[in-house]
Amino acid sequence: MTSAIDITQSVKPPRAVFVNFPLGHQTGPPDQPELQRRIVSDAMRAFDAITAPGTIVELPYVWDANDRSWEDVDYTKGWMPARPSRDVADQLEAERQAKFRRG
């Protein structure tokens, strides 16, 4: 699966399926199981369809038909949300692990 077609063209995996979605959504937007299922199902069918090495199948799905501005900002400076500081991250991790030790 890929949303970065230039990287995939450089790396050349055996087979690939491309969908033009922002990074972090290669198999679909959150909470849209029907669209996710179509994408993953298309990817599975590509196993049968692709017979030439390095073929990239492009899927027709559009992230937002009315607004393509994400293409201008994805993976540019200022686009990545700030990460929590190390102290806060360590605290969150301790809470995550404690949740499952209790569970």
Q: If binding is defined by CB under 8 A, does position 10 make contact with other proteins?
A: yes
State both tokens at 64: 């937002």
Q: If binding is defined by CB under 8 A, does position 67 make contact with other proteins?
A: no
CA 31/CA 54 separation, integer angstroms: 31
Q: Which of 66, 67, 77, 87 binds other proteins (CB under 8 A)?
A: 77
Please tell me the total number of residues recorded for the chain in this structure: 103
Task: Give yes or no for a contact between 26 and 74, defined as CB atoms under 8 angstroms apart.
Answer: no
Binding site for other proteins (CB under 8 A): 1-7, 10-15, 18, 20, 23-31, 33, 36-37, 39-41, 43-45, 47-48, 51-54, 71, 74-77, 79-81, 83, 93, 96-97, 100-101, 103
